[in-house]
Amino acid sequence: MLARSASRVAKERAIRRKQLTRLWQRLRQLQGMALTRDTLLLKLGAARQRWLAAWRLVQVDPQPDGTLVVALNRAKLRQVRRREGR
């Protein structure tokens, strides 16, 4: 049986939007910090653990020089949005 609910879709979108916003803010903070690669990886691991659902939608590429390249995986976001509320 497949059940669809508009209120459930709204709830899931709100949760995901909140997590994505907070994860994105944290990643921007990390980009601005002068960190060693090891420290950066530890902080990324903590962010991943805290916002796991949002982490799946973001591509994070730590560079050897300690910088961070971040991008939103739009195809995966589209896929998640199609499955909401079901």
Residue 61 belongs to domain spanning? 6-82
Residue 1 belongs to a domain? no
Least confident of 7-11, 18-22, 26-30, 45-49: 7-11
Residue 22 belongs to a domain? yes
Q: What is the pLDDT of residues 36-77, one digit of tens each?
A: 888 888 999 999 999 998 999 999 888 887 778 899 999 999
- Kindly state the tokens that stand for 78: 């589209």
The mean pLDDT value for 14-19 works out to 92
What's the total number of domains in the chain? Answer: 1
Q: Given this model, what pLDDT does residue 2 score? A: 66
- Name the band, by pLDDT with cuts 50, 70 and 90, for residue 84: confident
Q: How many CB atoms lie within 10 A of CB 35?
A: 18
